Amino acid sequence: MLSGAKILITGVLNRHSIAFATAKRAQELGAEVILTGFGRTMRMTERAAAQLPSTPVVLHLNVDSDEDIASLQSSISARWGELDGVLHAIAHAPADALGGRFLTAPRQSAIAAFQTSAYSLKGLVAGLLPLLRAAENGASIVGLDFDASVAWPAYDWMGVAKAGLEAVCRYLARDLGPDRIRVNLVSAGPIETLAAGGIEGFDDLAAAWSESSPLRWDPRDPTPIANAACFLLSPLAAATTGEILHVDGGFHAIGARRSLRMCGPEGGGR
């Protein structure tokens, strides 16, 4: 369903990442893929690229740099001349903006979290707009989200940044629809990635998720999320934009953990 599609994948750090699983699935479905890497993690991205079915080009990208985005646009233009899809899988918050430090986080750390995790979606899409507009059958942008409708333990300013990301998605969908460019998010359940390892309390959250989600949730398997991202990148989602697709085992739809006993009118457990 992605035969011949030209897709940019950001955020691949190793083979356990959601972005890697998406790149792998996209190649299996017929897409050509380019990856991006950044700074000290560039070598990690290159090693992960070599483990894909077909080793893709890895281009440098600091998503907070307008110059880097312009250079990326130029490089992709020289190779492909157009872009059918983009996976935005980039997020970061300083350590002092996470782990229960919501009230003590300094202003600059909160701003940094928003800039890299939310504004970057707009910055990247705007910078690549000529390539996206050139796609013959329209283009698709997919971002990775974590449910921002509630406050999570330890997630703090990253949670605020994800709420910003969800708003950015809606405004981009509004403005880019006339150009046949779709913008959607996949709200994923917790996955054991390198980034997740830096969030205090992640293991407890993943355990609670596995216990309470209606469908079985495996925090070691990003494949369901990759499949959903590829669906949104494909023509099968041609009339879908501004959407947040939950791929979390149904956890978002449940009001309480399974172990919580409810009392009926007579006070008895049921």
Q: Is 102 a domain residue?
A: yes
Q: Is 12 a domain residue?
A: yes
Q: Is 189 a domain residue?
A: yes
Q: Is 205 a domain residue?
A: yes
Domain that holds residue 242: 6-246
Q: Is 256 a domain residue?
A: no
What are the structure tokens assigned to 148, written together? 């921002």
Q: Is 141 a domain residue?
A: yes
User: Is residue 61 a contact partner of residue 72, using CB atoms and an 8 Å limit?
Assistant: yes
Tens digits of pLDDT across the chain (270 residues): 999 999 999 999 999 999 999 999 999 999 999 999 998 899 999 999 999 999 999 999 999 999 999 999 999 999 999 999 999 999 999 999 998 999 999 999 999 999 999 999 999 999 999 999 999 999 999 999 999 999 988 899 999 999 999 999 999 999 999 999 999 999 999 988 666 556 666 677 777 787 888 999 898 899 999 999 999 999 999 999 999 999 999 999 987 665 544 444 444 443
Supply the CATH number for residue 123's domain.
Answer: 3.40.50.720
Q: Is 157 a domain residue?
A: yes
User: Is residue 196 a contact partner of residue 188, using CB atoms and an 8 Å limit?
Assistant: no
What are the structure tokens assigned to 122, written together? 């707009």
Taken as a whole, the chain contains a residue count of 270
Instruction: Report CA dihedral (8, 114, 222, 250) to the nearest 10 degrees.
Output: -130
- 3-class SS at 59? strand
pTM reported for the whole predicted model:
0.92
Q: How far is CA 141 from the centre of its chain?
A: 10
Total number of domains in the chain: 1
Q: Which of 162, 142, 147, 168 minimizes the C-alpha distance to 231?
A: 142
Q: Is 1 a domain residue?
A: no
Catalytic residues: 155, 162
